[in-house]
Chains A and B, each alone.
Chain A
Amino acid sequence: MDKTKAVKYQRPSLARTLNQNKTLILMCVPAIIFFFVFSYMPMPGAYIAFTNFQYNKGIFGSPFIGLQNFKFLFMSGQLTLLLRNTILYNLAFIILGNVLQLTFAILLNEVQSKAYKKTTQSMMFLPYFISDVLVSLLVYNLLNYDFGFISNLVRNLGGEMPKVYQMPNAWPIIIVLVNLWKGTGYGTVVYFAAITGMDSSMMEAAQIDGANGFQRIRYITLPTLKPTVIILFLFAIGGILKGNFGLFYNLVGANSMLFNTTDIIETYVYRSMMNSFNFSQSSAVGLFQSVVGFFIVMAANAFVKHLDPEYALF
């Protein structure tokens, strides 16, 4: 609103403003109802984390036990394990993912064949479109002990293929690789768009001044991308407690032999609710994730705002 208007006219009454904007308000009503029902209505239910939940008594009929669920999760070391796994996986995804995406975007920019750029981008982007269910089948196709493609390759080369689905220590590597496989195309497209959007006159000037390929990347492309990289990085850090449930659940499933190295907050929450019906502990972990995650996002956003208010979320 511009200030002159506010000075000229008297502030209209609430009823009048509502009436004037009734159509626009009505247009938002479906979305308002949607988020009310599916996001706000469950919020009081977080109370369940402080109860010993009994299904037939409902959330507010179950006995209140204070912080005992949280205490148990801390004491048993369960929460620490989940936090360790979730954070370490996310750090690996964020750091390796960004390095790979940036590298590919920068390299692609140095190629001049449009057809090549288009084809490779399309090929890299494809894994983003498939469900995690199919991803698990692809991995099974490669690593299955009896018929897996890689198992066979190893055997044909005279090696001994380990039983991967029984090796907890192999999975951090496998999961990180699969995540990179699935997400690199997406990130490359984002960074490539940022590079294409940059001013080409600097490139020309550098070319005329005789900067070589490495120098152009080092002194022009990378600095131009820096703000985008930092901001995407900070927001990624903001979501460091959020795990990619679909990926982990489909790859590991109920294979408890691997839980020590593969269990993240989301998979634990899902399993302890759906399989062990431990609603209270499950929601305690979930609530812990939400609350701590909320403060991390706020901090990340404050950081971004400090760097460049343009990019801050709010």
Chain B
Amino acid sequence: MEDNKKTKIVSEHYHPTKVKMDMSDRIIRGVTYVVVTLFSICCIIPFWMIIASSFSTEEAIRRTGFTLWPTDVSFYSYELLFRSPDQMIGAYAVTLGLAIVGTLIGLFTIAMTGYALQRKDFPYRNGIMFYIYFTSLFSAGLVPFYLLIKQTLNLADTYWAILLPLLMSPWLIVLMKNFVKAIPHEITESGKIDGAGDFRIFYALILPSLKPALATIGLFLALGYWNEWYYSSLFLSSKVKYRPLQYHLYNVINKVASLKNSVAGSNVVITDLPGETLKMATACVATGPIILLYPFVQKYFVAGLTVGSVKG
């Protein structure tokens, strides 16, 4: 270590490359490339394996197990899925519908609330914020919530039971508040001077400058609806014909009967059903859009994390 302490005169702006690398830098960089690259690959390999096995023949999987590359390429599982696409289309329609409606309503409500609660001249803002925040500190637990939806509100077996609970959360409201904080108060003031009402100020002046916030929070909401299976498992019985995508996938994975139903009407003898590849194909179809959209929306999530990570 002692040898490394010799003084270096560096005139350039700090930049690791510009400086002559010593041994420690090389070690750190070497370790980084090895460790980080390996871990990153580990993060995406399982996805690849699901895709690969969805394109295998059932026979190959029974023979060699799941592999990194399909031994005998086959589109049979997808063919089966699309031969009787009723269940899958239904699930897509339900999920898309919930995601669009829920995200729009949730986003608008969260933005309104976040703006009002960030207004320094709103005397009730601390009270209302505490009222909202308290719900994340203390809850009655699952059973009373379940009975509320089922007995009091009578929403079981309706899509309301999924749409409503996912509309907002204290965390998203705090996140929105943090985004609003960055908008100068002068904008509100100038609106007031022009005689605009509070809602008009919000709608015409604030909302347009909140675009990055709306994108970020909207994506969090949409992701919540897309990945939803929990409320469905609590409140949607088999009486409901079409389940949200991930709950459909849950059933295909965990219940043999649902696996058969997912291709009902395609005239396949049940014993010939390619169970394993069918599960993988269903997973690919149910998750595909997320993976495809991911590269484009990722930066908004990162923005959300940096704004809301510590406080929230």
B partners with A: yes
Q: Is the CB of B66 within 8 A of A123?
A: no
Query: Smallest Cβ distance from A219 to chain B, in angstroms?
Result: 13
Give Cα distance in the complex from A287 to B28, angstroms.
48
- Given A152-B66, A210-B7, decide whether A27 and B16 contact each other with a Cβ distance below 8 A: no
Give Cα distance in the complex from A291 to B62, angstroms.
50
Stretch from A78-86, A91-99, A167-175, A179-187 contacting the other chain: A179-187
Stretch from B47-55, B77-85, B209-217, B258-266 contacting the other chain: B47-55
Q: Is the CB of A107 within 8 A of B199?
A: no
Give Cα distance in the complex from A103 to B37, angstroms.
13
Q: Is the CB of B144 within 8 A of A283?
A: yes
Stretch from B86-94, B134-142, B179-187 contacting the other chain: B134-142
Q: Is the CB of B4 within 8 A of A210?
A: yes
Give Cα distance in the complex from A155 to B139, angstroms.
49
- A112 interface residue per 8 A CB criterion: yes
- Given A24-B198, A200-B14, A212-B22, decide whether A181 and B42 contact each other with a Cβ distance below 8 A: yes
> Which one, A27, A133, A215, contacts B112 given CB within 8 A?
A27
Q: Is the CB of B4 within 8 A of A141?
A: no
Query: Smallest Cβ distance from A281 to chain B, in angstroms?
Result: 10
Most buried by B among A1, A34, A49: A34
B-side contacts of A250, CB under 8 Å = 250
- Given A110-B29, A152-B66, decide whether A314 and B122 contact each other with a Cβ distance below 8 A: no
Give Cα distance in the complex from A127 to B53, angstroms.
19
> Which one, B14, B47, B53, B142, contacts A270 given CB within 8 A?
B142
- B193 interface residue per 8 A CB criterion: no
Query: Smallest Cβ distance from B191 to chain A, in angstroms?
Result: 12
Q: Is the CB of B276 within 8 A of A137?
A: no
Give Cα distance in the complex from A184 to B145, angstroms.
32
Q: Is the CB of A21 within 8 A of B40?
A: no
> Which one, B42, B139, B164, contacts A39 given CB within 8 A?
B139
- A164 interface residue per 8 A CB criterion: no
Query: Smallest Cβ distance from B216 to chain A, in angstroms?
Result: 13
> Which one, B223, B233, B283, B305, contacts A190 given CB within 8 A?
B305
Tally of A interface residues using CB under 8 Å: 110
Query: Smallest Cβ distance from A293 to chain B, in angstroms?
Result: 8
Give Cα distance in the complex from A214 to B29, angstroms.
11
- B241 interface residue per 8 A CB criterion: no
- Given A134-B287, A152-B65, decide whether A123 and B41 contact each other with a Cβ distance below 8 A: yes
Q: Is the CB of A283 within 8 A of B143?
A: yes
B-side contacts of A44, CB under 8 Å = 140, 144
B-side contacts of A270, CB under 8 Å = 142
Chain A residue nearest in CB terms to B126: A314
Give Cα distance in the complex from A142 to B13, angstroms.
48
- Given A32-B128, A137-B50, A269-B142, decide whether A129 and B116 contact each other with a Cβ distance below 8 A: no
Q: Is the CB of B253 within 8 A of A137?
A: yes
Give Cα distance in the complex from A111 to B119, angstroms.
42
B-side contacts of A201, CB under 8 Å = 14
Which B6-40 residues have a C-beta within 8 angstroms of A? Answer: 6-10, 13-17, 19, 22-25, 27-29, 31-33, 35-37, 39-40
Query: Smallest Cβ distance from B261 to chain A, in angstroms?
Result: 17
Q: Is the CB of A253 within 8 A of B254?
A: yes
Chain B residue nearest in CB terms to A294: B138
B-side contacts of A120, CB under 8 Å = 36-37, 40
A-side contacts of B139, CB under 8 Å = 39, 42-43, 290
The 0/1 profile, CB within 8 Å of A marked 1, for residues 108-136 of chain B is 01101101110111111000101111010
B-side contacts of A222, CB under 8 Å = none
- A302 interface residue per 8 A CB criterion: no
Q: Is the CB of A31 within 8 A of B109?
A: yes
Q: Is the CB of A42 within 8 A of B145?
A: yes
Give Cα distance in the complex from A269 to B168, angstroms.
24
Q: Is the CB of A212 within 8 A of B168?
A: no
Give 9 nearest A-B pairs by CB, closest first. Answer: A286-B141, A45-B144, A283-B143, A204-B14, A39-B135, A42-B144, A131-B227, A152-B65, A123-B40
Binding site for A on B (CB under 8 A): 1, 4-10, 13-17, 19, 22-25, 27-29, 31-33, 35-37, 39-44, 46-47, 49-50, 53, 61-62, 64-68, 109-110, 112-113, 115-117, 119-124, 128, 130-133, 135, 137-148, 151-153, 164-165, 167-168, 170, 173, 197-199, 202, 223, 226-230, 233-234, 246-247, 249-250, 253-254, 276, 279-280, 283, 286-287, 290-291, 294-295, 298, 301-302, 305-306, 309-311
25 A-B residue pairs with Cβ-Cβ distance under 8 Å, sorted by A, are A28-B113, A30-B112, A34-B164, A38-B164, A39-B139, A41-B152, A42-B144, A43-B144, A45-B140, A48-B147, A124-B40, A129-B227, A130-B227, A137-B50, A137-B280, A207-B19, A213-B28, A266-B142, A273-B143, A273-B146, A279-B143, A283-B141, A286-B143, A290-B140, A313-B311
